[in-house]
């Protein structure tokens, strides 16, 4: 698992609209990258809804948010459409970024998925915080507050 102080892995992944999104697109911005197990499952829906509800607050603080799973573009598109998500979801069906981040697998209902993990990445591309086995019901406002504290420390 990647830890604070290390660079976030470079990536180029398609989002729910099929548009290629790269790490370099976020250069100079704070970034939250949250990995979730599977589209249209209970915890992942809760997490997506929470980030959608707080997106304006993250935007106002200059923080970008992206979700990543091993689901494909079509699955992400259906998931976003069904729940009116306004957060960008990146498709990693070959699990390249997932593996580069060193995520653990977890079991749910007899199936194995990548563990829910959240990274806070600074504007320099360096990981500032890592949250393993993140709670989908965790407060996004608490996460945003922590980023604001990190921003204040940076000056």
Query: DSSP secondary-structure letter at 126?
Result: B
Q: What is the model's pLDDT at position 155?
A: 59
Q: What is the model's pLDDT at position 113?
A: 77
Q: What is the model's pLDDT at position 1?
A: 87
Tens of pLDDT, residue by residue over 104-146, are 887 777 777 788 899 999 999 999 999 988 888 777 888 999 9
H or E element that contains 106: strand 105-108
44, 50, 89, 97: the active-site residue: 44
Domain segments of the chain as ranges? 29-154
Distance of CA 56 to the CA centre of its chain: 16
Q: Which fold has domain 29-154?
A: Glutaredoxin (3.40.30)
Q: Read out DSSP for 53-116? A: HTHHHHHHTTEEEEEEES--HHHHHHHHHHHT--SEEEE-TT-HHHHHTTPPEEEETTEEEEPP
Tens of pLDDT, residue by residue over 33-86, are 999 999 998 889 999 999 999 999 999 999 999 999 999 999 999 999 999 999
44 is catalytic: yes
């Amino acid at each position: 698992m990647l830890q604070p102080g290390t660079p976030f892995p470079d990536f180029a992944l398609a989002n729910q609209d099929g548009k290629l999104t790269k790490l370099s697109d976020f250069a100079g911005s704070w970034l939250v990258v949250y990995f979730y197990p599977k589209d249209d499952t209970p915890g992942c829906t809760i997490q997506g809804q929470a980030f959608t509800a707080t997106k304006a607050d993250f935007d106002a603080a200059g923080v970008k948010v992206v979700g990543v799973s091993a689901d494909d573009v079509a699955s992400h598109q259906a998931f976003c459409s069904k729940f009116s998500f306004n957060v960008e979801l990146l498709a990693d069906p070959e699990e390249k970024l997932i593996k580069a981040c060193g995520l653990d697998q977890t079991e749910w209902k007899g199936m194995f998925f990548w563990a829910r993990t959240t990274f806070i990445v600074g504007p320099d591309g360096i990981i500032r915080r890592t949250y393993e086995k993140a709670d989908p019901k965790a407060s996004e406002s608490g996460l945003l507050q922590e980023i604001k504290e990190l921003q204040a420390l940076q000056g």
